[in-house]
């Protein structure tokens, strides 16, 4: 990454030198990056960071796993034994959620991953919301196709219905 600094008029030399020293420090590359809590799918051993809205507990990734990290479009589903909990449908990159929708018992949370969760609705731009629901619907369709390939018609039908419901949120 290349960064070009432009010296501002009126800024004292000592302040300028201090600012350059801070920006050039090796730790700055990681400044602002939060230490995430990494989880692992108990079956595939694929690693990921689950959005905080999924709550604490075992979560399972249904999607591609590249270099041991959840990647691409898919679903993170929280489970307690046989009981399904909230789910994230969306895009993952190197194990981190990027954009998608969390399907909670009381509604949806859509947007980009920021900090440790999907951004709050108050921070959401209309196009980001639309994109999040489109990606979530595609993720649900891919999950449906995976279940259909395993001859699990009931789960395939369930996730196809979820995909249609997510698409309705766009309109």
Q: What is the mean pLDDT of residues 112-131?
A: 83
> Phi and psi dihedrals of 13, rounded to 5?
-55, -40
Note the pTM of the prediction, 2 decimals.
Answer: 0.77
The answer to the question of residue 121 being in a domain is yes
The answer to the question of residue 67 being in a domain is yes
Return the minimum-mean-pLDDT range out of 8-17, 79-88, 113-122, 130-139: 8-17
Counting Cα atoms < 13 Å in the Cβ hemisphere of 143 gives: 29
Q: Which of 44, 74, 72, 71 is nearest to 58 (CA)?
A: 44
pLDDT digits (tens, 9 = 90+) for 22-79: 333 333 333 334 567 898 998 899 999 999 998 878 899 999 999 999 999 999 999 8
The answer to the question of residue 21 being in a domain is no
Query: Number of folded domains in the chain?
Result: 1
Show the domain range for 122: 38-168
The answer to the question of residue 128 being in a domain is yes
pLDDT above 50 for 85: yes
> What is the distance between the alpha carbons of residues 122 and 125, in angstroms, rounded to a whole number?
9
The answer to the question of residue 28 being in a domain is no
The answer to the question of residue 119 being in a domain is yes
The answer to the question of residue 152 being in a domain is yes
Say what percent of the chain tops pLDDT 90: 55
């Amino acid at each position: 990454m290349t960064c070009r600094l432009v010296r501002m008029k009126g800024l004292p030399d000592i302040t300028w030198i201090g600012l350059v020293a801070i920006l050039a420090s090796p730790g700055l590359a990681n400044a602002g990056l939060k230490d995430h809590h990494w989880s692992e799918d108990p079956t595939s051993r694929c690693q990921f960071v689950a959005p905080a809205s999924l709550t604490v507990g075992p979560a399972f990734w249904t999607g591609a796993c590249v270099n041991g990290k959840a990647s691409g479009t898919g679903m993170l589903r929280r489970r307690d034994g046989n009981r399904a909990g909230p789910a994230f449908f969306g895009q993952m990159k190197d194990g981190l959620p990027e954009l998608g929708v969390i399907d909670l018992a009381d509604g949806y949370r859509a947007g980009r991953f920021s900090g440790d969760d999907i951004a709050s609705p108050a921070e959401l731009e209309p196009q980001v919301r639309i994109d999040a629901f489109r990606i979530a619907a595609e993720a649900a369709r891919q999950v449906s196709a995976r279940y259909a390939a395993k001859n699990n018609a009931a789960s395939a039908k369930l996730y196809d219905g979820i995909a249609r419901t997510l698409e309705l949120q766009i309109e």
